[in-house]
Amino acid sequence: MYDRLKGFRDFYPEEMTARREVLDAVEDTAARYGFREVGTPALERVQMYVDKSGEEIVDELYTFEDKGGRDVALTPELTPTVARMVVARGQELSKPIKWVSTRPFWRYEQVQQGRFREFYQTNVDVFGSSEPDADAEVLAFAADALTNLGLSAGEFEFRVSHRDILGGLLESMGEGVDVRDAIRAVDKSAKVERNEYYDLLHDAGLSYDQAREFDDLLSSGDLDALVDFAGTERVEAAVENLRAVLAATEDFGVREHCTLSLETARGLDYYTGVVFECFDTTGEVSRAVFGGGRYDDLIESFGGQPTPAVGVALGDATLQLLCERAGVWPAEELSTDYYVLTVGDTREVAARIARDLRSRGHVVETDLSDRGFGSQLSYADGINARTVVIVGEQDLENDEVTLKEMESGEQTTAPVDEFPGERDAPTYDDFA
């Protein structure tokens, strides 16, 4: 027997049914917003990730040299790939470019609850608009996706922040501050003790007094005080932008899901504007469910025309944790509209009925194993068949079939010529 690789998952049909239902809800939401599906490769050149994220990223990638001598990586995320695609056709594509896709990604990470080496993400991005409306639409899509999954407003929140507020504030604290390191410290702030957080800020060039002041400012959420404290146009503009995005979420009907949270930084270096993370309000799902934000510099750094961008990526594992916590994870069970059961040599009629029902869009199974009545009925029960159509030799002599409603166990006969007849979805009730 062969074993599955650690951190990889097999999804059997019952579980897959629930996953597909959730995925469909998310993709359907994206489609309604006019996000258009793209298809992307599973392999890219390693250099693309190194250029974007630094050499250290290689430690968590699946990389190898292919038979043509290329250094390649299994894609750990979508953003560099879609950035490459935008650059490749930048001039031809009408803006804004609104793309969506769902597919697996791979990272060689420690496996833990909600984190696997192969994981699935739905990525949604808008390229070509620097307006607050684009940020707000990404937030609105994400909120609507969760709402369409059955989550209510009280069950999740988007903690919204702004990279340029953080960056501008830190910049105003002196030239010795390493803004990048300090933002990484902010990103860790919720996970570490206060003293450790201050140590990290101190390592990034702040005095301990500054660290405390910075922490107080962020946690106050007082945007006016922030502007006054920094006294720079950069922070003023960033605050104005953040307020404009939140105002747009109001118009888009999702303001209630957004909480101002300046301590939210998002670890990835490439963000430039609004950033946000989705959290389970109960805290039972202990880490961010997903996140996103604005990254206006990436396309240009990839060799394209300056192209503002904002996006979000919903991961399968944490989304499942949130849905399970909220009690909206779909039932992990098969559903079947009809099982057409044969008794004796009735395959020709049974097959005709199965074909007719399938042509009406129903899920229909029939005997493939030459089994007896009881065995077929048990199988039909196992696949949760709603109606069993019994096509027996004796019934056929009377030009009839028998319909069995599996939930009640009730059964009745129907003229074989009228089944399914003109009906779209004939059931026991139609003939009883």
- The site map against a copy of itself for 153-192 (x = CB under 8 A) is ----------------------------------------
- Per-residue CA distances from 134 to 47, 84, 245, 249, 311 (Å): 30, 21, 8, 10, 9
Site for a copy of itself in 15-44 (CB under 8 A): 16-17, 19-20, 28, 31-34, 36-44
Instruction: Evaluate whether 117 touches 106 at the Cβ level (below 8 Å).
Output: yes
Instruction: Evaluate whether 287 touches 266 at the Cβ level (below 8 Å).
Output: no
**Least gap, CB of 314 to a copy of itself (angstroms):** 16
Q: Is 369 in the site for a copy of itself (CB under 8 A)?
A: yes
Q: Is 411 in the site for a copy of itself (CB under 8 A)?
A: no
Site for a copy of itself in 279-338 (CB under 8 A): 302-304, 334, 336
**Least gap, CB of 203 to a copy of itself (angstroms):** 29
**Least gap, CB of 173 to a copy of itself (angstroms):** 33
Q: Is 363 in the site for a copy of itself (CB under 8 A)?
A: yes
Q: Is 111 in the site for a copy of itself (CB under 8 A)?
A: no
**Least gap, CB of 187 to a copy of itself (angstroms):** 25
Q: Is 94 in the site for a copy of itself (CB under 8 A)?
A: yes
**Least gap, CB of 60 to a copy of itself (angstroms):** 9
Q: How far apart are CA 119 and CA 317, in angstroms?
A: 7
Number of neighbours of residue 30 by Cβ within 10 angstroms: 25
Strand partners, 279: 157
DSSP 27: H
Listed residue (337, 330, 344) closest to 360, CA to CA = 337
For residue 170, what is the enclosing H or E element? helix 163-171
b or e along 389-424 (b: 16 or more beta carbons within 10 Å of the residue's beta carbon)?
bbbbeebbeeebbbbbbbeeeebebbebeebbeeee
Q: Is 88 in the site for a copy of itself (CB under 8 A)?
A: yes
Contacting residue, 57, 76, 78, 96, with a copy of itself by CB under 8 A: 96
Peptide bond into 96 cis (omega under 30): yes
Contacting residue, 187, 277, 280, 367, with a copy of itself by CB under 8 A: 367
Q: Is 347 in the site for a copy of itself (CB under 8 A)?
A: yes
**Least gap, CB of 263 to a copy of itself (angstroms):** 28
Q: Which residue number, 185 or 323, has a Cβ lying nearer to a copy of itself?
A: 323
| Total binding residues toward a copy of itself, as defined by CB under 8 A | 95
- The site map against a copy of itself for 247-266 (x = CB under 8 A) is -x--xxx-------------
Q: Which two tokens stand for residue 203?
A: 């390592």
Say how many CA atoms lie within 13 Å of 57 toward its Cβ.
Answer: 19
For residue 328, what is the enclosing H or E element? none
